[in-house]
Amino acid sequence: MLVVFSLVFPLFAAVGTSPAATVNLIRNEIITYDMLDKEAKKFGAPDDKKLDVLNMMINDRVFLQGAEREGITVSAQQREELYRNYKTNYEQNTKVTLTTEQYEQMAIRTMGSVDEFKDALKNQYILENYIDKVKGDELKNLKVSISEDEISSYYRRNRANFYQDENVKLAHIYIPKEGDEKTDSSNRTLMNKVASDIAAGRITFEKAVKQYSKDEDSVNLGGEIGWLTMANEQALKALGADFFDSVFALEVGKVSPMIESGLGFHIVRVSVHNDGRILELDDRLTPEEPETVRDYIRSGLESQKLQNAYNTAVNELVETLRGEARVRILYK
């Protein structure tokens, strides 16, 4: 049961540092009009939605007070550690290294200031630990099941999203460009000769890989370098349109003439060529991964149900705390 006391304080103007609400579970906290305006601006909320923003702010405060009552707090030192750890995890996940200044700018773009970003990390940590303490067993024992009807229904609604671009699986003999005109000219001539020798049957593609290719990662794999998709913009930019056109036009099993790319000189053999198409439920999402469309949908729906259960647990806890707290909404 939500406890709301609507009081009017005529001595206060409804601006600035005047209280828009007070919250008291273990101590009294004031949410001022300035604080409300700042939060509403952050979310782009119009005036007629400010009461929703205010209730969200009240929920945050009763939750944090409830966590504190349970002994779940974050010290200033822990807050700084959370900030450092977030940077480390971000860099590991994105493979992008940030300078201190770049990280600070990211924090400012995300939350408005570095301090607010640190507070958001602190509050998220408190939320997760509080929920784990009071609802952890319930959530850990939660079992969700996804029916075939749910999977089929999701697939029908989102079928167009499971389009797989035209792709080829290829192997190559490769000599990189050195940036020296004489060396590159010599390598271009060499690769043209190697391509002619393969076409004439004087050497096999496999032997030529071992003898001439400078791609150390693929030499012991018979020149295999995996899959290339027509939609790979990064590869297109590096290799060039001529390389793409030549490779995708190559007949499966045939060895190409020498192909010059933005990176070097190649002789290519395509072993598989798939046209672009809408994937069926039991097709692999990508040629090199075992996960099927069905697997992907099932996993996503399971995650969604678990997240919904988590959100319900949070909302139930907040509702309980608001029922225990003394909440005064003064906003008019």
Number of Cα atoms under 13 Å in the Cβ half of residue 135:
19
In a domain, 296, yes or no: no
Q: Please state, in angstroms and rounded to a whole number, the distance separating the CA atoms of residues 152 and 155.
A: 5
User: Angle, nearest 10°, between helix axes 293-324 and 114-140?
Assistant: 100
Q: Work out the angle at residue 183's Cα, subtended by the Cα atoms of residues 179 and 186, and round it to the nearest 5 degrees.
A: 135
Same domain, 114 and 242: no
Per-residue pLDDT for the chain (332 aa), expressed as one digit of tens each? 333 333 333 333 445 689 999 999 999 999 999 999 999 998 899 999 999 999 999 999 999 999 999 999 999 999 999 999 999 999 999 989 999 999 999 999 999 899 999 999 999 999 999 999 998 888 888 888 999 999 999 999 999 999 999 999 999 999 999 999 999 999 999 999 999 999 999 999 999 999 999 999 999 999 999 999 999 999 999 999 999 999 999 999 999 999 999 999 999 999 999 999 999 999 999 888 899 999 999 999 999 999 999 899 989 999 999 999 999 999 98
Which positions ≥6 away from 39 have C-beta within 8 Å?
53, 56, 57
In a domain, 155, yes or no: no
In a domain, 299, yes or no: no
CB atoms within 10 A of CB 176: 14
Same domain, 125 and 16: yes
Same domain, 131 and 218: no
Instruction: Show the tokens assigned to 212.
Output: 């001439």
Same domain, 197 and 243: yes
Same domain, 214 and 325: no
Q: Please state, in angstroms and rounded to a whole number, the distance separating the CA atoms of residues 212 and 174.
A: 8
**Among 230, 258, 275, which residue terminates a domain?**
275
Same domain, 50 and 111: yes
Q: Please state, in angstroms and rounded to a whole number, the distance separating the CA atoms of residues 230 and 275.
A: 10
Number of domains in the chain: 2
In a domain, 297, yes or no: no
Question: What is the identity of the amino acid at 78?
Answer: Q
Same domain, 77 and 40: yes
CATH number for the domain harbouring residue 112: 1.10.4030.10
Same domain, 244 and 189: yes
Number of Cα atoms under 13 Å in the Cβ half of residue 215:
23
CATH number for the domain harbouring residue 171: 3.10.50.40
Describe the strand order of the beta sheet including 28-32 as a list of residue ranges: 5-6, 326-329, 19-24, 28-32
Instruction: Show the tokens assigned to 298.
Output: 């099932």
Per DSSP (E only), the strands in the chain are 5-6, 19-24, 28-32, 163-164, 167-176, 224-229, 259-260, 264-274, 277-278, 326-329
Q: Please state, in angstroms and rounded to a whole number, the distance separating the CA atoms of residues 263 and 174.
A: 10
Nearest CA to 150 among 318, 331, 294, 323? 294
Place of tokens 């671009």: 165
In a domain, 161, yes or no: no
Same domain, 137 and 9: yes
In a domain, 132, yes or no: yes
CA distance from start to end of the chain: 22
Place of tokens 């607010």: 116
The answer to whether the beta carbons of residues 82 and 122 sit under 8 Å apart is yes
Same domain, 237 and 318: no
| Structural domain containing residue 251 | 166-275
In a domain, 324, yes or no: yes
| Per-residue confidence (pLDDT) for residue 16, from 0 to 100 | 67
Same domain, 250 and 209: yes
Same domain, 135 and 171: no
| Per-residue confidence (pLDDT) for residue 21, from 0 to 100 | 95
In a domain, 61, yes or no: yes
